[in-house]
Each structure stands twice: as C-alpha cells, then as structure tokens.
Amino acid sequence: MEKNIRHQFQQYFGKEALIAAAAPGRVNLIGEHTDYNEGFVLPGAVDKKICVAIAKNEEQKINMYASQYQNKFSFGTNELHPVKGWATYLLGMIYFLQKHNSDIGGIDILIDGDVPVGAGMSSSAAICSAFGFGLNELFHWNNSRMELALTGQKTEHEFASVKCGIMDQFASLHGKKGHVMKLDCRSLDYSYIPFDFPDYKIVLVNTLVSHSLAGSEYNTRRQQCEEGIATLQKYFPNIFSLRDVTSEQLESHKTSLSEVVYRRCHFIIHENMRLLQGCELLGKGNIHAFGKLMYASHDGLSREYEVSCEESDFLVENARSFAGVVGSRQMGGGFGGCTINIIKNDQVENFNRHIRSVYEREFDKTPEIYITQIEEGAHLIL
C-alpha cells in the first residue's frame, strides 16, 4: 500500500503528490483505564497503517478521496467544521494546525489504509497522525511529534466528539520497531521498552460485540475512581490520583469505601503495578512471565473493574488453555472489541482455527482475527 499511494494519487488527481506519509494503528499490551487515573500505558505501533498523499491546489478547495471507502468530499478553505465520517479528522487537523502555523490554502488529499475500523487499533488516530505528519512536512511547520499527537487528540475531542486520552495518537506518532512505549499519562514522559520476539506474533480476536455500554459505563468508572480518591485524600492529603495510592494505603482504609469503589481502586492500583513489573520482565526478555500478567490484567478487568463481557471472557479462557499462547486479555475500554493474544508463531494458524470453531459454536458468529507485529510509527513515504 505504501508503494502505490503516490500512484493512486496520480491516477485520481492527475498530478504528482508533493508529500506522502504513513502512520500505524496501535495495540496496548497492558494498562487499561489507567490513563485517566494519571497512570501508565504500554502501547506499540503495529503493521496496519493509514497512508496519505497530499499536493497543493490553486482552487482554495480541500479535495479529499479515501480509496478504502471509495468516496470523496470537497470543502472550501473557510468550511473547517465538524462533519460526519472520516473527513472530519482531516478537517480538524487542518483547523487546529493552522491556528498555530501558517494557512495552507487549497490542497488535494488521498488516503488509503488497512487499519480495521472498530477493532480497537485506533484507525482514527492513524488518520490524524498520518495527515498531520504529512502537513507538517509539506509546510515546514516544525511541530514536534508530541504536538501533532495533542492536535490529533483535540481533533477527536472537538471534531469527532470522542473524549479520548492521548495514548492512541502518541503511539501512532512515536512507535519504534521492536519496542513498545511506557507512557506516563500524567507527565507525558515516555521510554522505549524492548519487545523483540521474532518467534511470537500479536494476534487480535474481534468479538464483534459493539461497545454499546462503553460510553456510559466509562463515565461511571471515572466517577467511582474519583470517589475513591476523594475518600482516601481525607487520610492522605498528598495524593492526587490513584496513581499516587499504594496498595497498603488502600487496604488500610478499605472499610471507608463502598465495596464497588474499593474494587475499582484495587484494579487500577494493581494494573499500574503489573505494567511497571511487565516493563522489567520485557527488559529481561521474559515473555512468559509477561503473559501471566496479561491474564491477571484480564481477570481484574472482568471481576474487579467489570468492563468485560461474556464473549471476551470466553476467548481469554480458551486462549489460556491453548498451547503456544503465553498471554491473553481484553484490550481497550471494554464491553466488546478485541482480545489481544501473544502466540508462538508455529501455533498461530492452529489457534486461529480453534478459536473460530469454538466461538462459532458458542455464539453463532465468526470472529475476525488480525495478526500483527510491532513496527515503526509515523514516517514519510519516499
């Protein structure tokens, strides 16, 4: 796809693209619901990506074509407002980048990609990242990758009405082959953690369950965490988020919390601990011990944070008993979406056949399966 994005642009617009860029989707190995509690996440860029080709025009028009959807839009340069569909991400990036840089005038844009929509790999972040990276190069704006990530997040918030964290855009722009990234969601400091296991693949299994509960339940979980902090601050005035709370502090005032709030806090505190321990294990090349932490993460998501679903639990339990799978858990906000699995190469096909068979038998539908590996973040296509 990278190789022919310029050719596609030439065929559609009848001229050469001035710049072409690509940005990947992402996975998160461990660390769910920790972002809004100012904790840590551990994403990696994957080998599914969005590509974009751009050229200037003299029409004062923003002309867009998406090959994967086979549809087009055209807007005047004064029509930068939210719209429905994929075009809103491009309009949002132009709107916010122009505020801090020069006006771009008219441009022609072609995008194509293979990041699955709705599978939890953040296709929207990949669109924002690829396009922002391309504009930054074309107009020599010198925005940092973090500034582009924050612009993508702002676009999600204000042009797509999705109140996401920074992880998706950060991972798409900062990815590094053979590494995942430990991101501190409070300071935005990050470090690269080795994830170079050529004998293993990352396999996502899509439950095909929509995240219908995710919005309302997500807000409820945030409120419950905030309630826990408000109570614990009475005893420990120097804590500001669950990231600051130790397991001992939580246990010492367990009776001051409702059972539900205690379980929510317990999960977040221990999920952060699992992530930090997991980084140490990956640094030592211990993928098997890391996999055990993934199972523990899923158990917490299911029983303590209660954001799993019957289908995700079923997939993880079947992965747990399958030879060659070192770790499995639900990925993302919950109530559907994908499970993420780390599987020995020589067992991937057997696993795929097995999981399709048992899932079809149990739920009368065939799960989508994506085989991925950790790759580079946003880059130019030369």
DSSP state of 186: T
**Residue 204 to residue 175: CA distance in whole angstroms:** 19
Three-class SS of residue 47?
A: strand
Respond yes or no: is residue 114 known to be catalytic.
no
**Residue 34 to residue 32: CA distance in whole angstroms:** 5
Structure tokens belonging to residue 53: 């080709």
38: left (phi over 0), alpha (psi -120 to 50) or beta: left
β-pair partners for 193: 180
Residues contacting residue 170 through CB under 8 Å, at least 6 positions apart: 43, 146, 149, 181, 183, 188, 190
DSSP string, 78-147: T--S--SSTHHHHHHHHHHHHHHS----EEEEEEEE-PPTTSSS-HHHHHHHHHHHHHHHHTT----HHH
Structure tokens belonging to residue 7: 């050719």
Place of tokens 């840089």: 101
Distance of CA 111 to the CA centre of its chain: 20
- Run of H or E residues at 170: helix 167-174
- Run of H or E residues at 364: none
Among residues 35, 112, 168, 313, the one annotated as catalytic is 168
Catalytic residues: 168
